[in-house]
Amino acid sequence: MIFGVCSNKPIDFEKKYLCGFQGQDSIQSQCFNTAGFVFVPEKFNGGQTRHSGLWHDSETERWFLFQGHVFNEKQLREEYRLVGSMPFSQVVSSLFSQNGAEIFRKFNGHFVVVIYDVKENQLTLVRDHFGVEPLYYYLDQDSIIFCSQPLFLLEHGIIPKQLNYKGLFTYFLFNYSPLKDTIISNLFKLRPAHSLLWRDGKTEMKRYWYLSFQQEEEKDESYYVENILYLLRDAISIRLDEGRPGAFLSGGMDSSSVVGLASPMLNQKLNTFSFRCKGESFDESHYAQFMSDFYATQHHLVEFPPEATKSIVELTEIMPEPFCDIGIEIASYLLAQQAHELVDYILSGDGGDELFAGHPAYVADRVAKFFDYIPRLVQRPIIHGLQWLPDTDKKKSLVVKAKRFSYSFNFPATLYSNRWRIYYTRSELQNALRPDFWAQLQNEDPLSEIEQYYHEADGPDFLSKALYGDYATVVSFYLTRMGVLRHFGIEARFPMFDYRLVEFAATIPSHLKIKKNSETKYILHKTMTGILPDEIVFRKDKLGHSVPMKNWIRESSIVRELILDTLSESNIKRRGYFDYNFIQKLIDEHLRKVHNHSHRLWGLTVLELWLQKNKI
């Protein structure tokens, strides 16, 4: 963990803040008249990540805090001729002195960097390209407080537990916050690929890396296939070391590609992990087992029965902020528990959907484009009628897709793929919330901020802009979910977030990602043909990782009681956000299969548990 304070006024850092670290081993700290910093080594199974620590550059009078793992250290040393016995700390100091924060665009890995200029009382915060490493900061009139673990700030009363209404509004809409805002007032996430400069109480945000989707003259398919394969292999190779390797394996294209390419590179058996929820149209664990058998991995299948949902109580204790996706977060927690004693790091296929356009939302965007040609007078009754189709027990069916499409189609196309991820309209929230609470939220407009991300995009078509926006939004959810592994001493590594691979994939024409017949990830399938078994490359029944939460709420007394107890009338009225009649309506309609309200009910359950755990 890294922590620090920088102020315009003198502070007694040792007395006010260091006491919160009593009893922790191997901490490093440094105090100044107006600033102070602490580094606490993370307890990874394979030992401390070697690039983390606190150090001083005496030549420039700068102090550095670094947390993370840089996988291309050798290449950086060679490119900038920093060879020999020079320690990594000196490499960072030298490169920053010569190039400023721009140099971090060439750091391949996950990291946060803090630089304090003693002479200027100036603080610089830097976060990696995609936000794998967490970094939060709190601003008040005179100072800035930063920390990689926001729960530490809340637990020790370092910042006030005052709610941020924009953050709450955003959580209601998405079940996580894709914006920099959290649900705590004045507590923000540093945006990935950015640096923040603080001086004299003022902040300046700068981007050090930009993901461009500008495309040069189109090449033939073989060019893209060869480069994808080279870059993906190298992205995996530099993330392998002598530690005990593991991988999350679903049997889909992304995780299978990582496992299929990594296995021949290792001189030890790869531990792979998948979970299974029994139920029609939810269990595809046999594909993970097939991949394991094909590559001779040591496979671990983790059963995820309804009673395991109670783990959410433990999980909310370690969540940096509330987030959920109807139980997928629990699955990550269960897999991490299983992997704890077996591996030092986990390879993940997260990022493949954004590289090669694999998410169903991108297909929905295409359908919506054609639906727009239907006259409004015809559209409206169709949309209204589809929403009243009864729900089914299946994850994917024509009815399920039609209901979801008809609801989300009402949101503006300027939200691109994020329109399909919203769980309330503005009018629904207004009617659901207590009038006094709605009065606090009504002037907030988080969706307009989501739209701003797409204004940054330079891609030539709708899909490329949608992909850019997803890197800026939904990717943060995947990475926060995978952050659960830290609790178990496991480092998560993401080959498909290698910035070189991402930059190249952004230049691939959209029609090679999604074909006219709506075949997604076409170019990845083409790349892995002949490398992965045909049973994986050409399968047509991909479900995506999923938990049958909607069925469990209806059929499992354990799950239902967990939700009913958490969203009890006394809890809802004490919290003062929602009208309890609305909660009752959600439960009633869900149990009768009028609508699938599992995302809403689960999201509110997680939020209430998180607020309770943090005594807010």
C-alpha 368/C-alpha 381 separation (Å) is: 16
* DSSP code for 616: -
C-alpha 190/C-alpha 484 separation (Å) is: 19
Are 599 and 391 contacting, i.e. CB atoms less than 8 angstroms apart? no
Coil, strand or helix at 362: helix
pLDDT value at position 397?
79
**87 has pLDDT over 60:** yes
Single-letter code of the amino acid located at 329: E
Q: Within 10 Å of residue 436's Cβ, how many Cβ atoms?
A: 8
What are the pLDDT digits (tens) for 46-71?
A: 775 668 899 999 999 999 999 999 99
**544 has pLDDT over 80:** no
Tokens 């990582």 label which residue? Answer: 258
Q: What is the token pair recorded at 259?
A: 């496992």
Residues 50, 178, single domain; the answer is yes
Asked if residue 135 belongs to a domain, the reply is yes
Please return the burial class of 89, using the count of CB atoms within 10 Å of its CB with bins 0-12, 13-18 and 19+.
middle
Which of residues 537, 556, 572 is at a domain's end? 537
CATH classification at residue 323? 3.40.50.620
Asked if residue 296 belongs to a domain, the reply is yes
Residues 290, 317, single domain; the answer is yes
Query: Pick from 66, 64, 86: which is nearest to 77 by CA?
Result: 86
What are the pLDDT digits (tens) for 368-396?
A: 999 988 998 888 898 888 888 888 887 77
Coil, strand or helix at 104: helix
What are the pLDDT digits (tens) for 253-303?
A: 999 999 999 999 999 999 999 999 976 656 788 999 999 999 999 999 999
Q: Measured between alpha carbons, how far is residue 201 from residues 120, 127, 259 in Å?
A: 13, 20, 48
Asked if residue 112 belongs to a domain, the reply is yes
**537 has pLDDT over 60:** yes
pLDDT value at position 24?
77
pLDDT value at position 288?
95
Q: Which helix (H) or strand (E) holds 533?
A: none
Residues 75, 179, single domain; the answer is yes
Are 182 and 150 contacting, i.e. CB atoms less than 8 angstroms apart? yes
- The proportion of the chain whose per-residue pLDDT surpasses 90, expressed as a percent, equals 85
Residues 149, 199, single domain; the answer is yes
Pairing of strands 298-303, 271-276: parallel
Q: What is the token pair recorded at 384?
A: 């209204």
At residue 451, φ and ψ (nearest 5 deg) are: -60, -30
Are 498 and 483 contacting, i.e. CB atoms less than 8 angstroms apart? no
For residue 461, how far is the Cα from the chain centroid?
25
At residue 377, φ and ψ (nearest 5 deg) are: -65, -25
- Stretch 76-91: mean pLDDT, rounded? 88
pLDDT value at position 393?
83
Residues 162, 273, single domain; the answer is no
**352 has pLDDT over 60:** yes
Residues 185, 295, single domain; the answer is no
pLDDT value at position 49?
60
Are 434 and 578 contacting, i.e. CB atoms less than 8 angstroms apart? yes
Q: How many domains does the chain have?
A: 2
- Stretch 418-433: mean pLDDT, rounded? 97
Asked if residue 231 belongs to a domain, the reply is yes
Residues 349, 495, single domain; the answer is yes
Query: Pick from 94, 98, 24, 110: which is nearest to 58 by CA?
Result: 94
C-alpha 336/C-alpha 341 separation (Å) is: 9
Helix axes 462-472, 474-482, angle to 10 degrees: 40
Range of the domain at 290: 221-357+465-537
C-alpha 562/C-alpha 609 separation (Å) is: 11
Residues 203, 225, single domain; the answer is no
Residues 189, 242, single domain; the answer is no
Query: Pick from 67, 501, 489, 47: which is nearest to 242 by CA?
Result: 47
Q: Which helix (H) or strand (E) holds 491?
A: strand 491-493
C-alpha 129/C-alpha 476 separation (Å) is: 11
Are 382 and 281 contacting, i.e. CB atoms less than 8 angstroms apart? no
C-alpha 55/C-alpha 63 separation (Å) is: 6
**418 has pLDDT over 70:** yes
What is the band of 400 on the pLDDT scale with cuts at 50, 70, 90?
confident
Q: Which helix (H) or strand (E) holds 33?
A: none
Residues 199, 228, single domain; the answer is no
C-alpha 363/C-alpha 354 separation (Å) is: 13
* DSSP code for 396: S
Asked if residue 493 belongs to a domain, the reply is yes
Query: Pick from 52, 17, 22: which is nearest to 37 by CA?
Result: 17
- The proportion of the chain whose per-residue pLDDT surpasses 70, expressed as a percent, equals 98
Are 580 and 570 contacting, i.e. CB atoms less than 8 angstroms apart? no
Which of residues 520, 537, 554 is at a domain's end? 537
Which of residues 537, 557, 576 is at a domain's end? 537
What DSSP line would sit under 87-102, residue for residue? -HHHHHHHHHHHHGGG
Asked if residue 29 belongs to a domain, the reply is yes
What DSSP line would sit under 160-190, residue for residue? ---B-HHHHHHHHHHSS--SSB-SBTTEEEP
CATH classification at residue 57? 3.60.20.10
Q: What is the token pair recorded at 49?
A: 């990540």
Asked if residue 99 belongs to a domain, the reply is yes
Q: What is the token pair recorded at 87?
A: 């320690």
Q: What is the token pair recorded at 562?
A: 């967990």
Single-letter code of the amino acid located at 406: S
C-alpha 419/C-alpha 417 separation (Å) is: 5
Residues 182, 286, single domain; the answer is no
Asked if residue 176 belongs to a domain, the reply is yes
pLDDT value at position 387?
85
Please return the burial class of 435, using the count of CB atoms within 10 Å of its CB with bins 0-12, 13-18 and 19+.
exposed
C-alpha 91/C-alpha 76 separation (Å) is: 9
Sign of CA dihedral 108, 49, 351, 356: positive
Residues 91, 192, single domain; the answer is yes
